[in-house]
Structure 1
């Protein structure tokens, strides 16, 4: 991915330099003919020189067209690449980061110092299997989408939210404390209470756990994840 970005950047810079040089050449060509009428007269009188200059101008024009086409293709490539990245790193059902997207976040915590004040929150929908069995996967999928929307709307103010897979979700908080996490949990529970009042036939029931690394002292993010998972599933 990094190599691809470097290639695209180098290619774009090269094309930009070519475009600038070509425009400068065309501008100089026009200025010379404008500021030197005698040269212009001689150019039109000398058939061979006129043909050579005309062919050179046409070639430069074609180069300009191809350069503009290259910029168009670069823009198209960037848009397609962005769409592919979204597809690769966002969960197709809920639209929030999937495990691949979360892995990118995990990689930013590459030292014990960067993990020092991180909090990891993990939550599962405990009645999803029951809903799938009794009401069907369409209702279950809608429950997943609704919960991810609630979790994201509440969690975005605290940290990064993502779907870890199945009915399991994560939130990573850079500067977590018990007060911060309890306030988040209270806000989430309030949103779920309001949701369940409107969806009493298929209420969302959750189980959660969180760990503060200032207490766990994990040196690797994977360790912090494992400890949170074990706390959620003792």
Structure 2
């Protein structure tokens, strides 16, 4: 799983900023407390009050201040830690597909946008896939079995595709991999590795066999100026002339 799909969200950054800000503030308070304690160290060590009312008030203020800072540190860090964890989980929910744990459509759209107007676009390779027998599984057995089939395929796809590029679920039965600086060799190697894993899964007969249709496009050949045109072309190929892995 690539962390950038959810860990760089604006909400998480805000929580992290608040956490850092509060940490620095509390450290400053601790320094001030230490300075006050240093100047009143004699009375603090002996725990005695002089007859000077000013000294008494100063000592009492230091003790109260130390207690308040200590309580504040504990409460603030507890709340901020919980808030940061909530923000992190919310970003995961926003960026990741709930069923498979892969980057969801929103994440895929953000990824596609990042290639527009950049130097990476001319060398990008894009592969879109679907599970050919998923509709049949849903109709003849159950949607639970269909979800299991999706989960199994996504596990294989992520495990194989992670070293090649960005893997995501771009909708119900739409799965993508985007490879930077992609050549025909890169595509062939990825598809070969994926085919081996799918065949291994099917031969084990642990569940419904996987039948995968795909379309692969390289922008070095297509020369598209925007990412959306390359994606549309790949989907058209998947619809009109799909290739299969099984």
Quickly name the TM-score band, shorter chain normalised.
0.7 to 0.9
2:25 is matched with which residue: 18, 30, 38? 18
Q: 1:21 offset after TM fit, Å?
A: 2.3
Tell me, yes or no, if the aligned pair for 1:162 and 1:169 is still in contact at 8 Å: yes
Matched residue, 1:77: 83
Equivalent positions of 1:132-211 (< 5 A) are: 132-199=138-205, 202-211=208-217
Equivalent positions of 1:42-57 (< 5 A) are: 44-47=50-53, 49-57=55-63
Pairwise CA RMSD of aligned residues?
2.4
Change in Cα spacing, 1:227 to 1:48, as seen in structure 2 (3 Å) is same
Q: 1:41 offset after TM fit, Å?
A: 10
TM-score normalized by structure 1?
A: 0.88
1: CA distance between counterparts of 2:74 and 2:207? 58
Q: 1:191 offset after TM fit, Å?
A: 0.9
Tell me, yes or no, if the aligned pair for 1:121 and 1:208 is still in contact at 8 Å: yes
Structure 2: stretches of 5+ with no match in the other structure: 1-7, 241-246
Query: SS at the partner of 2:182?
Result: coil
2: CA distance between counterparts of 1:176 and 1:18? 48
Tell me, yes or no, if the aligned pair for 1:112 and 1:218 is still in contact at 8 Å: no
Q: 1:95 offset after TM fit, Å?
A: 1.1
Change in Cα spacing, 1:184 to 1:3, as seen in structure 2 (3 Å) is closer
2: CA distance between counterparts of 1:189 and 1:9? 42
Number of aligned pairs? 231
2: CA distance between counterparts of 1:84 and 1:21? 31
1:115 is matched with which residue: 115, 118, 121? 121
> C-alpha offsets along residues 147-205 of structure 1, whole Å, 9 cap, x if unaligned?
00111111111011111111110001012111110111111111111111122862111
**Which of 147-156 and 193-202 deviates more?**
193-202
Q: 1:222 offset after TM fit, Å?
A: 1.2
Matched residue, 1:96: 102
Query: SS at the partner of 1:76?
Result: helix
2: CA distance between counterparts of 1:184 and 1:136? 31
Structure 1: stretches of 5+ with no match in the other structure: none
Change in Cα spacing, 1:190 to 1:213, as seen in structure 2 (3 Å) is same
Tell me, yes or no, if the aligned pair for 2:12 and 2:87 is still in contact at 8 Å: no
1: CA distance between counterparts of 2:61 and 2:218? 72
